[in-house]
Amino acid sequence: MVLRSGPAGARAIVLPGLEHPMSLSVIATAAGLVAAAEIGDKTQLLAVLLATRFGKPVAVCLGILVATLANHALAAWAGSALMGALDAPWFRYAIAASFIAMAGWALIPDKPAAAGADRMRFGVVGTTAIAFFFVEIGDKTQLATVALGARYGDVLAVTIGTTVGMLIANVPVVFAGEALLRRLPLTTVRLVAAAIFLVMGIALALSTAGVI
């Protein structure tokens, strides 16, 4: 940690790697993108199922936090490692294409995933963490995290941002449940998420081509 002086001698704690404004921009971008993509996703539907099944929203939220940190840290690291090994125009075009492909995927409604939520050997937090970790594998939000890691190469900022995005999308439905999901215009949310992915993909492709 770094202690940074502020107004009137006040000091703020800054985590290593997050001193640069670019890291904050990456966190904000990753959080917004994943939060939008998570609305109506199968992991969000799983959050509703677990909250309804266990009736312990705080424990469910802690399980989601643990699972997302573990899953997305690995995903962001994988994306960053790919960027370091394959930092070439064709790879940047591939990442741009992956964002554009996820724009189409974001428009497809998800169905609830089977999670084995009745098994309580690990408690509510453990059961939620295990279920969320495995259901998230191959999900659009995990693949978005890989792409963001490859795009920015900032594992810490991407992991924090995507985790915040998952919590923004899931904590309200854990506490409010199905009633909140029924009130959300899921089609509109999916369109917004798809538009964000599409714009990021096109912007990266144009940047690689030297157009912008």
pLDDT digit string, tens, across residues 11-38: 334 445 555 556 889 999 999 999 988 8
> Does 192 reside within a domain?
yes
pLDDT band of 8, cuts 50, 70, 90: very low
Cβ contact 124:56 at 8 Å: yes
Mean pLDDT of 128-155: 88
> Does 9 reside within a domain?
no
Of 57-61, 75-79, 106-110, 129-133, which gets the smallest average pLDDT?
106-110
Alpha-carbon 42 to chain mean position:
13
pLDDT digits (tens, 9 = 90+) for 45-55: 788 878 877 88
> Does 174 reside within a domain?
yes
Of 46-50, 132-136, 163-167, which gets the smallest average pLDDT?
46-50
> Does 1 reside within a domain?
no
Two tokens, residue 40: 């109506």
Pick from 132-136, 165-169, 207-211 the range whose average pLDDT is largest: 165-169
Q: Which ranges in 39-88 belong to alpha helices (H)? A: 42-54, 57-85
> Does 7 reside within a domain?
no
pLDDT digits (tens, 9 = 90+) for 81-101: 877 665 578 777 887 887 788
pLDDT over 90, % of the chain: 28
Residue 118 has pLDDT above 50, yes or no: no
Query: Which is higher by pLDDT, 135 or 95?
Result: 135
Could you give the number of structural domains in the chain? 1
pLDDT band of 107, cuts 50, 70, 90: confident
pLDDT band of 10, cuts 50, 70, 90: very low
Cβ contact 170:64 at 8 Å: yes
Cβ contact 11:23 at 8 Å: no
> Does 6 reside within a domain?
no
Task: Specify whether the backbone of 210 is left (phi greater than 0), alpha (psi in -120 to 50) or beta.
Answer: left
Domain around 79: 20-208
pLDDT band of 1, cuts 50, 70, 90: very low
d(CA 17, CA 52): 39
> Does 114 reside within a domain?
yes
The reported pTM is 0.68
> Does 8 reside within a domain?
no
